[in-house]
Amino acid sequence: MLSASPSYRRNNLPATWKSDVDTFLDAGLPADVIMQMVSLAGGKQGIYNRWTYFAGCCWTRIRQIRERAAKIVAEDENGG
């Protein structure tokens, strides 16, 4: 019988975690926001795979930042 509890196994970091975080940084997500997403995912109840939840939160924030930037550029181009 395995001695590790299911909660331990399901919360392991994937082997790609460092490159994943680099991808978030390269996509423009500030390090402090990544840390906020770590706290959010770590404290969220009922999450089976915290890494997947964390990554989803990061990608959502990246999309929000890109949408905001596109809106600013569009307003600037339209003289607004």
**Confidence (pLDDT) at 72:** 95
Summarize pLDDT for 14-73 with one digit per residue, the tens: 999 999 999 999 999 999 999 999 999 999 999 889 999 999 999 999 999 999 999 999
Q: What is the value of pTM for the model shown? A: 0.80
Instruction: Give the 3-state secondary structure of the chain.
Output: CCCCCHHHHHCCCCCCHHHHHHHHHHCCCCHHHHHHHHHHHHHCCCCCCHHHHHHHHHHHHHHHHHHHHHHHHHHHHCCC
